[in-house]
Structure 1
Amino acid sequence: MEICPFVYGRALRPEEFIDRHEEMRRLLGRLVTGQATALIGQPHIGKTSFLNYLLDKSSRHKIVGDKLDLSIFSYIDSQMLGQSFDQPAFWKHVLKPLTRRFAILHKQNQGAEKPVRRIEAGSAALALKRSSDDEHNLDPTPIFKAYITAESNQFGTFTLEQLFTVLGQQGWLFVLVLDEFDALLTHPVLNKTEFYGGLRSLASRCSGFTMVIASRHSLERLNQETQAINPHGSPYFNVFTEFRLGPLPEIHANTMINVAGERFGSLDRKFITRTSGLHPYLLQTAAAILWELHEEGTKGVERYQCAAEELSRQSQAHFADTWNTWTMAERKVITIIAMSQINGMLGERQFDWRKLAESIGDYSAELRTLKEAGIIVKTGDASWKITQEAFLWWWADKVRTITRDAADFDQWLCAQEMDGLFTKEECQEMNDAAKKMRDFLGKGASTLIENFAKGLSSGALKAIGMG
């Protein structure tokens, strides 16, 4: 039995990571100079996988050599912080790699070998032993004292500044990596001015401290989300530079697909790229499904219909999650593009979408964001399309449900908080078009999936002169 090599549903380990060399090179370059960075991307785009690679010392060495050897990385998944986690508990947890790395050297006599001892300092027990840090001529005593002061003062920002300043003076850098940063926006204790202001102050003032955060939301949106608790001060996140993760570059997507070897032919590759839009999670999912169907011996139209139906089921939660991350304006843009694209499959039942399609031209910022995320691609001067065929299947079921359970499409728009973005005339046009689509779609996603599978296979037959 050969094990399927495609991984989806969990973050990739460093050895499984498909190269995003340019993004990693830029991020590591910023860390070498102590600059804070925000890694922004849609759900399942690979942010945590990217961070796993960043945290691996051998992986960093491949790009920047020993330039970050005097660095301490501390990774925190913000979703794992309990509801009662306060700032002292947060920083005590964050600083564990520092207390481990700087196993304090207690020297009664300079240069003399001493046995391992322990010093109890408040709740911190710091091992005192010789370590490889001696090779860097580290004098841990000032760091030890600064840590004890910070701990005894409940890790207040001022004492943390002192700690990281001392660390920087000895040539070291502490890198705090905060994954799923969005979760902090709803944390009952940490979602406070003191916490965000402290992070901002440390990142901007201390030579021995910097941060990498990973978020689904842009820095602009994070600043908006925290404006209520910071109406007059500088935005908390203006010390960060935003790095966006989009779909895989084609060369790396091909590298991933090539793992299947001879199992995947040109039609399999077309299925994977068209259904996923080169989104890492969708690509791995589609490839894994095709791998298993190959093992089962499924062929022809049946192969692609079965694969599409399974991909549609597997990606339901992903698309629902992604929808919830979009702003109201982004939802409007996606709604118009998706319905216009499905409308293009209606044949004689076509609905005139020209007015609505032209109206999204006013949403240049949203179009740019969605394009960078790999969700849409421009197909003409004023026309766009969804890159992920699997999204259209999810959307087809959504339209079917909306028009079945709601009296009017505009009621659904209101529930999505998009009603204020559409004129009354546009709402009526959307409602009429949605009902027309419902009649055409019949079985919802299944109708589009059947057409897709048949089209994919017939296209292959035509290509070899048998269609």
Structure 2
Amino acid sequence: MNPFKIGRAYSPESFVDRVDEYCDLLEGVKSGNNVVVIAPRRFGKTWFLQKFSVESGFSCLYVDLFGVYSVRGLVNTLVEQIFEILRRKDLMAFFVNYLKNLPFSIQFNLGFVGVSFSKEVDNEMLLGGLYELLNRVQRELNERLVIVLDEFQAYKNVHKNLAESLRSYIQSAENVGFVFSGSFKHMLEQLFFENSGILYHSCLKVDLNPLLPEDDCVEYLVRQFGRTGKVISPDLAKEVYTKTKGHPYYLQLFGYELWSRTQAEVDFEDVEDAFNNIVEKESYNYDILVETLGYKYVKNALKLVAEQSGELFSSGTLEGYDIPNSSALSKVLRKLSEYGIVEKLGRGRYEIVDPVFEEYARKRFSN
């Protein structure tokens, strides 16, 4: 079986590094703080959060908000996980003592949990009931309860005022903590770290380093091939690292492609073919993105990022790259950042961090 895993389900044997960031997250939660984890798309954020949920020692409820489209859906998702936690304790006592006077009813059967909602109950009442349920669960557990809300930039799909509602609850909650996370960096930083943000001053911040360290990645690749009876030399593992730049998603995808096409031992041609195959597969999605943003602006913006190390938004620089104004450049860079293609390093400074897009752009914009 291919030892390289692609997807949203956490695989401990496929997890690489993140030691410092994990310690920061763990220490933040242990000290009683709420935490927000920010990272671009495909940078291993979901595995990082699932690792915390599974291994931290806290009772955690994990929700990916991309898959939740209403307050009722949020309540259902959390109640199902509460059932799994409490079934290991005295579930019947909890049912008898703690589920009274909630604006929804919960039915527990063998291996099944269901939630019933009255048509007369509005979203605000449901959220209030959910918060009361979380408080009761925490008291039953007699330990800190942590709610992990992944892809929090999608919160308005659940309820347009969910952030305001959570802010009020966080201010009064005792021993119920939150870990928020998302990939739209600009939006989340406005929400959590600017004076006007709804959740300003509510969380500590943990940034995931975009790229993984070389030594850990090389050792990981050699180990994963070795444990399945195949061989990749350290030198060729370094070549994989060079092409992926330690990008978490593409390291896994490259390993998966390379393992699949290798009978016994990896050679240089296998590495080249696997990388070219990945670029070809991703090109369709990149084509759509480029056409949406405008071919000319994307081409010029990427060329600007690659060639300029100083201020990108000066009128002279923009004119030199045929970009009409700073707002046009900001729009393109913000969208590329949301897709995990470029990363903001500081004021007016960016770098390309998606190695597959970089190769795609080299071929697409070579003229």
TM bracket, shorter-chain basis: 0.5 to 0.7
Q: Residue 205 of structure 1 is aligned with which of 172, 175, 187?
A: 172
Question: Partner residue of 1:412?
Answer: none
Question: Partner residue of 2:222?
Answer: 258
Query: Is residue 358 of structure 2 the alignment partner of residue 392 of structure 1?
Result: yes
Task: Give aligned-pair identity as a percent.
Answer: 18
Q: Residue 272 of structure 1 is aligned with which of 236, 240, 262?
A: 240
Change in CA separation of 1:104 and 1:315 when aligned onto 2, cut-off 3 Å: same
Change in CA separation of 1:225 and 1:322 when aligned onto 2, cut-off 3 Å: farther
Query: Is residue 107 of structure 2 the alignment partner of residue 125 of structure 1?
Result: yes
Q: Deviations over 1:242-300 (max 9, x none)?
A: 22222112332123222224722244223212211100111122223333343177855
Q: Deviations over 1:354-408 (max 9, x none)?
A: 966xx99x99xx89x98xx895799xxx999756553322113442xxxxxxxxx
Q: Structure 2 stretches of 5 or more lacking a match?
A: 110-120, 310-316
Q: 1:430-449 to 2 correspondence within 5 Å?
A: 437-438=366-367
Query: Is residue 214 of structure 2 the alignment partner of residue 244 of structure 1?
Result: no
Change in CA separation of 1:257 and 1:38 when aligned onto 2, cut-off 3 Å: same
Instruction: Tell me, yes or no, if the aligned pair for 2:153 and 2:187 is still in contact at 8 Å.
Output: no
Q: Residue 60 of structure 1 is aligned with which of 56, 60, 81?
A: 56
Work out the CA distance in 2 between the residues paired with 1:285 and 1:309.
12
Change in CA separation of 1:151 and 1:17 when aligned onto 2, cut-off 3 Å: farther
Which of the pair has more CA radius of gyration? 1
Change in CA separation of 1:311 and 1:233 when aligned onto 2, cut-off 3 Å: closer
Change in CA separation of 1:237 and 1:76 when aligned onto 2, cut-off 3 Å: farther
Q: Single out whichever of 171-180 and 386-395 deviates more from structure 2.
A: 386-395
* Residue 184 (structure 1) shift: 2.7
* Residue 179 (structure 1) shift: 1.8
Work out the CA distance in 2 between the residues paired with 1:285 and 1:269.
14
Work out the CA distance in 2 between the residues paired with 1:258 and 1:293.
16
* Residue 46 (structure 1) shift: 0.7
**Normalised by the size of structure 2, how large is the TM-score?**
0.68
Instruction: Tell me, yes or no, if the aligned pair for 2:164 and 2:198 is still in contact at 8 Å.
Output: no
Change in CA separation of 1:269 and 1:160 when aligned onto 2, cut-off 3 Å: closer
* Residue 215 (structure 1) shift: 0.6
Question: Partner residue of 1:74?
Answer: 61
* Residue 49 (structure 1) shift: 1.0
Q: 1:81-100 to 2 correspondence within 5 Å?
A: 81-82=68-69, 85=70, 87-99=71-83
> One-letter code of the match for 2:60?
F
Change in CA separation of 1:313 and 1:266 when aligned onto 2, cut-off 3 Å: same
Give the secondary-structure state (helix, strand or coil) at the position aligned to 1:263: coil
Instruction: Tell me, yes or no, if the aligned pair for 2:231 and 2:264 is still in contact at 8 Å.
Output: no
Question: Partner residue of 2:188?
Answer: 222
Q: Deviations over 1:2-56 (max 9, x none)?
A: x332223444323432232221121112222332212211211111111221121
Indicate the RMSD between aligned Cα atoms, in angstroms. 4.8
Give the secondary-structure state (helix, strand or coil) at the position aligned to 2:205: strand
Instruction: Tell me, yes or no, if the aligned pair for 1:172 and 1:208 is still in contact at 8 Å.
Output: yes
> One-letter code of the match for 1:279?
H
Question: Partner residue of 1:285?
Answer: 253
Change in CA separation of 1:308 and 1:151 when aligned onto 2, cut-off 3 Å: closer
* Residue 104 (structure 1) shift: 4.8
**Normalised by the size of structure 1, how large is the TM-score?**
0.55
Q: Structure 1 stretches of 5 or more lacking a match?
A: 62-67, 108-115, 128-149, 227-231, 342-351, 400-436, 439-467
Question: Partner residue of 1:309?
Answer: 276
Question: Partner residue of 1:31?
Answer: 29
Change in CA separation of 1:98 and 1:253 when aligned onto 2, cut-off 3 Å: same
Q: Deviations over 1:212-235 (max 9, x none)?
A: 1221112x5236589xxxxx9752
Work out the CA distance in 2 between the residues paired with 1:257 and 1:375.
25
Instruction: Tell me, yes or no, if the aligned pair for 2:167 and 2:198 is still in contact at 8 Å.
Output: no
Aligned length: 321
Question: Partner residue of 1:21?
Answer: 19
Q: 1:136-151 to 2 correspondence within 5 Å?
A: none
Instruction: Tell me, yes or no, if the aligned pair for 2:222 and 2:234 is still in contact at 8 Å.
Output: no
Change in CA separation of 1:321 and 1:225 when aligned onto 2, cut-off 3 Å: farther
* Residue 60 (structure 1) shift: 2.3
Between the two structures, name the one with larger relative contact order (CA 8 Å, sep ≥ 6). 2
